[in-house]
Amino acid sequence: MIYTSYFANVKRLPINIIPISVCGKAPEWFKGFEYRKLGPKYGFFQEWKRNHDNEFYTKHYKEEVLKYLTQWEVITELYMMTQYRDIALVCYESPDKFCHRHLIADWLNMILRYDKVKEWEAQLPLFDY
């Protein structure tokens, strides 16, 4: 299964879900896997930081990053990195904010039939009354 999440949530992920950074640069403390092929390009990312134009970012992300990749190649490489374990593609933004990981999820979901990429959410423990 492929999930998305963010760095502030990494320590809450279950041990069986392997976090993989999909940023240009992960935080210094993060010692996990990195898959920079999905990271945004510096130029359009810096422009987005100045203007926060999500349409601009989306257009450039698709044209400068996703256009040069195939979904099956990405999925295969991600699973090979983790020896076919469940993964969480992580970056900086919280789930309610615009983030390229949501674009990645939509892009991957275009070819997936059953196990759709979705944001990981902590499951509350079930109590037996």
Question: Which residue range is the domain that position 16 belongs to?
Answer: 2-117
Residue with tokens 């902590």: 122
Rounded Cα distance, 2 and 24, in Å: 20
Residue 87 in domain: yes
Residue 89's closest CA among 11, 30, 16, 18?
A: 18
Residue 122 in domain: no
pLDDT per position as a tens digit, 82-103: 999 999 999 999 999 999 999 9
pLDDT for 85: 95
- Overall domain count for the chain: 1
| Residue, of 60 and 123, whose pLDDT is higher | 60
pLDDT per position as a tens digit, 26-49: 999 999 999 999 999 999 999 998
Q: Could you tell me the pTM of the whole model?
A: 0.89
pLDDT for 60: 95
